[in-house]
Amino acid sequence: MSVNQSKYIRQQKIYKAIITCTRFLIFIAILILWEVSTQLQLVNPFIFSSPSRIAAIFMKMCQDGSILHHCMITLGETALSFFIIIAAGIGIAVLLWLWKGLSDIIEPYLIILNSLPKSALAPMLIVWLGNNQKAIIVTAISVAIFGTILNIYTGFLETNKDQIRLIRTLGGGSMSILTKLVLPSSRKIIVSNLKVNIGLCLVGVIIGEFLAARAGLGYLIIYGSQVFKMDLVAMSIVILCVISAILYKIIDLIERRT
Amino acid sequence: MNPIISLDHVNYSYHTSKGEIPALSDISFQLQPGSFTSIVGPSGCGKTTLLSLISGILKPESGSIDIHSSNHIYIGYMLQRDNLFEWRSVYKNMLLGLEIQKKCDKDHIENVNHLMDAYGLSPFKHVRPSQLSGGMRQRAALIRTLALEPDILLLDEPFSALDYQTRLEVSDDIYKIIQDQNKTAILVTHDISEAISMGDQVIVLTGRPATIRKVVPIKLTVDTRTPLSSRFAPEFKDYFNEEWEELE
Ligand SMILES: Nc1ncnc2c1ncn2[C@@H]1O[C@H](COP(=O)(O)OP(=O)(O)OP(=O)(O)O)[C@@H](O)[C@H]1O
Ligand SMILES: [Mg+2]
């Protein structure tokens, strides 16, 4: 390696280290500021909670196992709705692609449903389906499904026309075009769609839990705010942050592999 | 000899919401089995449309295209662009047609392996198409077409994206295969010298909507005819001038 090259590499390493340290320091600073200002009663710890109070309630709920229970419920609902959205989204997009008339007919409906603020449907779904997990999962699905169908279908339509011609010259019909060309060439779009959806599913599940749950992180947040246990609310939000970061990272790894 | 394929007063127009675009008008000609026909015409005149009709992916609006054979005939069609799929390896690309027609049996695969060796593509079997040079991409696309063992081969300006040197090499390769296997071929090009160097006859088309302006049989005095040796034949220049004037 030349002198200049190793100099360049060293500079890059230093830059990265500075970025990482600064991020970490900001995190520590916020924690300290938060903790100190509540200790000194500059802000009311009863309303704003504090890192030490969050840690304490977290430890307590770990010991009785209740936090794991609530996390697993929220995660389970998120995973289930996520897989249903992917399967239904791809399935319906394929149907629309195979049957142009159908897609021309229902496109305006899809666009309207997709532009609707998703949480607006939730109360109605819960009245229809009852105060249960089914309603929560359907709420989560309703948040993401329309966008997923539209996105994937639009991706399908961008399939290269000349490549479609190629399949036809090789004697293939719609099914060959679909399986050999449209689906593989849309893989990137589908995977990047997963990334958006995992976040939306979590949003949908939390909305559903606000309205209909007896367990889960959304339930903890709404319950905590009603009984003024702000430590519980703050802790649930912190856990949600961690969960969504982990889920995002998992999809990110999948995306890199494809 | 009886023709293998005949076109009889074929017409074709594209229809769009903006209007009708007539592409072909009253095209009639016949091909003898084993013959090599070049088609030249100004750009946009309807050459690709003509090949699409012959291959069967478009249907004529009027007139007819008949294939004369007692058994089933597969028409191989090499498009203007190679359209290799980047998500498949080079080898998987060459097998695409076999997969689609569910012909991945031992004989067909062996044929592909043989062609791959003959064209020097074996070392690149597992790489992605983007890592191939233009000439190699074109050869891979050709093998993809030949894998289905076509009786008639349609070539749509297969060399237009290549530099001059590679162009001569690849056209020699393709010409040799077609002669060895005694296939019937149609080559579309806007390059007059390429048309003469490979064809037994050259069909000159007019501008859009294309009609046949002239059919020129090519007879060259060379020992063994290859696209390269044809270019040194004494008659080559005369044919060139004749067709140049037709296209003017
Ligand atoms: N799908 C289509 N819809 C409408 N018009 C079309 C379509 N395909 C081709 N055309 C028009 O028909 C005419 C003939 O097209 P074609 O591709 O057959 O010409 P070409 O001789 O192969 O051209 P080039 O030299 O560019 O390859 C062109 O003017 C083109 O604009
Ligand atoms: Mg063309």
Whether the CB of B158 sits within 6 Å of ligand 1: no
């203007």: which residue's tokens?
B80
Given this model, what pLDDT does residue B168 score? Answer: 86
Q: In this predicted model, what pLDDT tens digit does every residue of A51-72 receive, in sequence order?
A: 999 999 999 999 998 999 999 9
Residue A154's pLDDT band, with cuts at 50, 70 and 90, is very high
Q: Are B115 and B145 in contact (CB under 8 A)?
A: no
Please check whether residue A169 touches B, CB under 8 A: yes
Residues B54 and B168 in one domain: yes
Residues B62 and B164 in one domain: yes
Which tops the pLDDT comparison, B170 or A83?
A83
User: For residue B80, which atom of ligand 1 is closest to its CA?
Assistant: 27
Q: In this predicted model, what pLDDT tens digit does every residue of B183-220 receive, in sequence order?
A: 899 999 988 888 888 989 999 998 888 899 988 888 87
Q: Is B32 among the domain residues?
A: yes
Whether the CB of B23 sits within 6 Å of ligand 1: yes
Q: State the Rg of chain A over Cα.
A: 24
Q: Token pair of A187, please? A: 């893989």
ipTM: 0.90
Residues B97 and B213 in one domain: no
Residues B1 and B45 in one domain: yes
| Half-sphere exposure at residue A238, Cβ-oriented, CA atoms within 13 angstroms | 16
Q: What is the largest CA-CA distance in chain A?
A: 78
Rounded to 5 degrees, φ, ψ at B42 are -60, 160
Q: Rounded to whole angstroms, how far apart are CA atoms A32 and B120?
A: 68
Q: Is B106 among the domain residues?
A: yes
Give the distance (Å) from ligand 1 centre to CA of residue A84: 44
Residues B242 and B161 in one domain: yes
Whether the CB of B21 sits within 6 Å of ligand 1: yes
Q: What is the mean pLDDT of residues A142-164?
A: 94
How many other C-beta atoms are found inside a 10 Å radius of the C-beta of residue B25? 18
Residues B203 and B176 in one domain: yes
Q: Is B195 among the domain residues?
A: yes
What chain B residue is nearest to A163 in terms of C-alpha separation?
B83
CATH number assigned to the domain comprising residue B16 = 3.40.50.300
Residue B243's pLDDT band, with cuts at 50, 70 and 90, is confident
- What's the structural domain count of chain B? 2
Single residue among B115, B150, B185 that ends a domain in this structure:
B150
Q: Token pair of B62, please? A: 């009027």
Q: Is B79 among the domain residues?
A: no
Please check whether residue B57 touches A, CB under 8 A: yes
Q: Rounded to whole angstroms, how far apart are CA atoms A28 and A32?
A: 6
Whether the CB of B52 sits within 6 Å of ligand 1: no
Q: Token pair of B238, please? A: 């005369």
Residue spans of the domains in chain A: they are: 1-43, 50-257
Mean residue pLDDT of chain A comes to: 93
Q: Is the pLDDT of residue A258 over 80?
A: no
Please give the interface size between A and B, counted as residue pairs whose CB atoms are below 8 Å apart.
45
Q: Rounded to whole angstroms, how far apart are CA atoms A192 and A251?
A: 9
Single residue among B150, B180, B205 that ends a domain in this structure:
B150
Residue B147 is classified by DSSP as: T
Q: Which domain holds residue B139?
A: 85-150
Q: Token pair of B43, please? A: 């750009």
Residues B105 and B7 in one domain: no
Rounded to 5 degrees, φ, ψ at B6 are -135, 135
Coil, helix or strand at residue B95: coil
Give the distance (Å) from ligand 2 centre to CA of residue B39: 11
Specify the CATH number for A50-257; select among 3.40.630.40, 1.10.940.10, 3.30.70.60, 1.10.3720.10.
Answer: 1.10.3720.10
Single residue among B150, B176, B205 that ends a domain in this structure:
B150
User: For residue B205, which atom of ligand 1 is closest to its CA?
Assistant: 21
How many other C-beta atoms are found inside a 10 Å radius of the C-beta of residue A116? 12
